[in-house]
Amino acid sequence: MSSVPTRSEIEEEYTWDLESIYATDDDWEDAYEAATDQVEDLAAYEGQTVDDATTLLEVLELRDRLMREISMIAAYARMRSDEDTTNQEYQALSARAQSLAAGAQSAASFIEPELQELSREDFEAMVEDEPDLENYAHYVDDVLRMKPHTRSAEVEALLADLSEVTGAPGEVYSMLSNADMGFPTVEDSDGEPVEITQSNFVNLLKRPDRDFRQRVYEAYFDEWESVRNTVAASYKNSVKADVKLARARNYETAREAALDGPNVPVEVYDTLVDSVHDNLEHLHRHAELKREALGVDELRMWDVYMPLTGEEGPDVEYDDAAQYVVDAVAPLGEEYQSRVAEGLESRWVDVYENEGKRTGAYSGGTYDTQPFILMNYQNDVASMYTLAHELGHSMHSELTKEEQPYIYSGYEIFTAEVASTVNEALLTHHLLETVEDPEFRKAILNEFLERVRSTLYRQTLFAEFEHEAHRLEEAGEPLTADRLDELYGDLKAQYYEPAEMDDRIPREWMRIPHFYRAFYVYQYSTGISAALAIADDIVENGADAAEDYLAFLRRGSREYPLELLEIAGVDMRSSEPIDRALSTYGDRLEELDDLLE
């Protein structure tokens, strides 16, 4: 029987180094107490923000110092909890950190309404008195841009206080899916029981034994059926919170509110959906090729993750994957490459699955820490690509914080997913250029196709689903489990037209945690489109294109996302990058089809 190791059974070199943030939990407690005192110091400035240039600079710098410290407090607690989501002690620390962060946001909530009392000319005059305020010029421009959607200081404080409550549906869902839900075991082709987990579900659907895949698929979704009403209630209330918060800020729709934060026009969202629908024939061709490769009369939902090679693909040990990724990023320059290698040696990555560990993968860390990457590495090609992806995020953070002050050290997801996916595209190019083994090459091509299918097509399907779910709520229509199933099932049938639908696949929406971060997933689709264009440019034009791309990474959030991407030579207001990416996907499909023949 396959089993998942305990945390203590994982070798230290394959775990992240959280002691580099706080050596002990007592050190965390000391930082927590100090930050609590600073929250009171910040609150004391209420009503004085724009009295004069000196006071304004004091307020902004104090807020930044406080938020830097709280970000470390929260990151440490969250990542400790993610190591084992059943650990009650670290759940409690994480909850305290969330409360502290909410309290700090509430204490700082007076700043932006008071800033909005200024005109741009007023601020420029203050910069003349305090030149260090120039660092905040783009931030202030963004604050003034949001004036129609910013409420009074009292209301802003209330909304900040309510952030824990409005985020509760996502927290409930996370605990249900990561800690409380358990999945059955199923027998493999040798009669051995195999444990299904959130992390290994997709990999189990890549096994060659079709009957085994069907048993895994049915057992997994039947377990979701047992919590169907709970998940529907959780998601319904998450959507309600999105809609009510948008209305509280004078937006007509939740989508408009979500996209206005990074200053992305809703037309970009619509262009993505329209372009994908105009190119569904490529996805349909992919599905048909899978049916042919499997030699079956009908492609079923438990066949969708099967590689076109008809096999599980080569094993890729973590250490080998790390070296492949280091070699692949060479076109970005020696400094970038050496820093990736050093990070991998410095315990940036928490590599393997363990009992209770949070599923999935992410890149974390703060302005004052090294990057931290959570993975559940499965010794396969897909996990290698995930490593490249998360390292892209981590290097984006590293380059940004070296060049930008804290206020611009973050970046919007719209641009973040470009950094991660450029790494993936460079990995594909490197492997196809250097690997001779034909089976490995087939696996690489298949991985590229699956990445585009699951990132560009699948995330756009998700984007359509959440847009329609929010539209229904805004129209006053009830979001029941049946209605959500119907909505998702209809979209799935459009996207996977050649495949046979069944009565379980409409439940798939229940397993997608990103839906609790509204209007987030579309940026995976725009991101891969922009990234493929950038990577092609780097491969074709070398150092100059690479330097443009690195300049984009170093800018952090100092400009708006669409402006930042223009530095790297991409216009996401048009459909061109999306159409180009989908055309490449179609070409790669035919390339692999020829190899298989």
Task: Report DSSP letters for 429-498, one per residue.
Answer: HHHHHH---HHHHHHHHHHHHHHHIIIIIHHHHHHHHHHHHHHHHHTT----HHHHHHHHHHHHHHHTTT
pLDDT of residue 364: 94
**Residue 591 falls in the annotated catalytic set:** no
CA distance 408 to 420: 19
CA distance 351 to 593: 34
Q: What is the dihedral of CA 225, 226, 229, 233, to 10 degrees?
A: -100
pLDDT at residue 597 is higher than 80: no
Window from 13-27, 202-216, 304-318 with minimum mean pLDDT? 304-318
Neighbours of 367 (CB within 10 A): 17
**Nearest Cα to Cα of residue 521 among 582, 460, 595:** 460
Q: Which of 69, 83, 112, 390 is flagged as catalytic? A: 390
Beta bridge partners of 363: 373
SS in 3 state form for 443-455? Answer: HHHHHHHHHHHHH
Q: The whole model's pTM is what?
A: 0.83
Backbone φ, ψ for residue 227 (5° rounding) = -120, 20
Tell me the chain's radius of gyration from C-alpha atoms: 24
Backbone φ, ψ for residue 84 (5° rounding) = -155, 100
Tens digit of each residue's pLDDT (9 = 90 or more) over 183-242: 999 999 899 999 999 888 998 998 999 999 999 999 999 999 999 999 999 999 999 999
CA angle 63, 69, 74 (to 5 degrees): 115
The tokens describing 456, both together, are 């560009």
Q: What is the dihedral of CA 11, 13, 17, 19, to 10 degrees?
A: 60
pLDDT at residue 310 is higher than 80: no
What percent of the chain stands above pLDDT 90? 87
pLDDT of residue 312: 67
- Mean pLDDT across 516-532: 94
Tens digit of each residue's pLDDT (9 = 90 or more) over 156-169: 888 888 888 888 99
Tens digit of each residue's pLDDT (9 = 90 or more) over 269-279: 999 999 999 99
Window from 29-38, 290-299, 307-316, 344-353 with minimum mean pLDDT? 307-316
- 395-434 CB burial, b ≥16 within 10 A, e <16: bbbbbbbeebbbbbbbbbbbbbbbbbbbbbbbbbbbbeee
Domain 227-311+394-597: CATH superfamily is Oligoendopeptidase f, C-terminal domain (1.10.1370.20)
Q: Identify whether the C-beta of residue 498 lies closer than 8 Å to the C-beta of residue 291.
A: yes
Is the pLDDT higher at 416 or at 561?
561
Q: Identify whether the C-beta of residue 269 lies closer than 8 Å to the C-beta of residue 576.
A: no
Q: 3-state class of 35 per DSSP?
A: helix
Beta bridge partners of 241: none
Mean of the per-residue pLDDT values for the chain?
94
Spelled out in words, what is the top-level CATH class assigned to the domain 7-166?
mainly alpha
State the first-to-last Cα distance of the chain, in angstroms, to the nearest integer: 37
Tens digit of each residue's pLDDT (9 = 90 or more) over 423-481: 999 999 999 999 999 889 899 999 999 889 999 999 999 999 999 999 999 999 999 99
**Nearest Cα to Cα of residue 200 among 6, 364, 324, 383:** 383
Q: Where are the domains of the chain?
A: 7-166, 227-311+394-597
pLDDT at residue 580 is higher than 50: yes
Q: 3-state class of 279 per DSSP?
A: coil
